[in-house]
Amino acid sequence: MARHPVEKLKDHFANVEDPRSDNVSHHLIDIITIAICALISGADGWVEIETYGNAKFWWFKQFLKLPHGIPSHDTFGRVFAVIDPQQFRESFLRCVQAITELMEEHIAIDGKQLRRSHDRANNKAALHMVSAWSSKNHIVLGQEKVRDKSNEIIAIPALLELLDLANCLITIDAMGCQTKIAQKIIASDANYVLALKKNQGTLYEIVEVLFSDPDEIQVANCDYHKEINKDHGRIEIRECWATNDEQYLKYIEQELGHWEGLQSLIMVKSERRINAISSSKTRFYISSLPPDAERLLHVIRSHWGIENKLHWVLDMSFREDESRVRQGNATENLAIMRHLCLNLLKKEESTKCGIKAKRLKAGWDMNYLFKVLSV
């Protein structure tokens, strides 16, 4: 007989150690399970999680021990504040591995700050998380906290360590354009497309000079691709140039140091027209892929899915930026749970609607919650 999905969920988090003393009123796995089910079903904070638990008490009683009923909202807050985020993250990764397999995957990496998670009274900065997003599966593959007085340059390599990157393509914004990060990606049998910004000095200037002169573009024998999209009165034009010109690659190697696997220099121009208003932007990249302009343009455009399909959804559907959870490790653990819940809701495809509507349906219909957990 197939096991109930709640039992499988419990298995994934069974290795999280209970940091409390032995004399406790509520089992840790009960607290974690209720919180995840409540978050899937539309709860966003501890009070809402407690309320949901009480409303679904007899349903939870089928799978959980609940010796003293549903924990209070204060208990939820205190417990998640002391759970080890590393262990919680490892449980998240086990869940991800159970629902997806990486094969020639495009992984976009980007950071997001939880704006209201700061605590000025205790001199605590807002939580900043770097996440890995599967462009194909539309799920979060992993996350890493940016430590206090640190930045994404430190967090990105730690995040890469968590993932099996073989045969994958990694895209990162300009913060991750570092020789050591490129080396780490290539050492993992993966490829990269890294964005450039002006604060990177000479490398940016070299690529900009190459593509700013039409004669240089001609000499460098660039591959070129153009796309035009029209939708609801809006026209978007995207152009990509890519080259593996030996002269420029050799100069970069000699003057700026070794970029492991570097094969192509890229320029992308995008223009948006809405009625009579037009705006344009030019971006530069380096990559370990060959200079195939059509593929590179597709990959670069797909990278922004992490903004539109992850960060935006967390803010709009989970109200993440409005969350004032600040105690101990609770902010980070709650962020990991949101990622898990978003993954499960994304992978449940029988209902064709947005994430917010799916959360509401899971709260109203226990059969639908069963489907989401069964993913």
200: domain CATH number is 2.20.130.10
Residues 206 and 257 in one domain: yes
Residues 11 and 84 in one domain: yes
DSSP summary character for residue 4: P
In a domain, 348, yes or no: yes
Predicted TM-score (pTM) of the model is 0.91
Domain containing 360 equals 5-96+325-374
User: Among 270, 291, 312, where does a domain finish?
Assistant: 291
**Looking at the chain, how many residues does it have?**
375
Residues 277 and 345 in one domain: no
In a domain, 112, yes or no: no
In a domain, 113, yes or no: no
Residues 331 and 247 in one domain: no
In a domain, 301, yes or no: no
Strands laid side by side in the 223-231 sheet: 139-145, 128-134, 106-113, 169-172, 191-196, 277-287, 264-274, 234-243, 223-231
Residues 285 and 340 in one domain: no
In a domain, 175, yes or no: no
In a domain, 186, yes or no: no
pLDDT, one tens digit for every residue, the chain (375 residues)? 567 888 888 999 999 999 998 789 999 999 999 999 999 999 999 999 999 999 999 999 999 999 999 999 999 999 999 999 999 999 999 988 887 765 668 999 999 988 878 767 677 778 899 999 999 889 999 999 987 656 888 999 999 999 989 999 999 998 899 999 999 999 999 999 999 988 777 899 999 989 988 877 777 789 999 999 887 778 999 999 999 999 999 999 998 889 999 999 999 999 988 887 889 999 999 999 999 999 999 999 999 999 999 999 999 999 999 888 888 999 999 999 999 999 999 999 999 999 999 999 999 999 999 999 998
Whether residue 311 contacts residue 112, with contact meaning beta carbons closer than 8 Å, is answered with: yes
Q: Which of 340, 347, 354 is nearest to 312 (CA)?
A: 354
Give the 3-state secondary structure of residue 324.
Answer: coil
Q: DSSP of 125-186, one letter per residue?
A: PPPEEEEEEETTTTEEEEEEEPPTT--HHHHHHHHHHHS--TT-EEEE-GGG--HHHHHHHH
User: Among 244, 271, 291, where does a domain finish?
Assistant: 291
Q: How crowded is residue 67: how many other Cβ atoms within 10 Å of its Cβ?
A: 10
Strand 106-113 and strand 128-134: the pairing is antiparallel
Beta strands in the chain (DSSP E): 106-113, 128-134, 139-145, 169-172, 191-196, 223-231, 234-243, 264-274, 277-287
Work out how many domains the chain is built from and give that number: 2
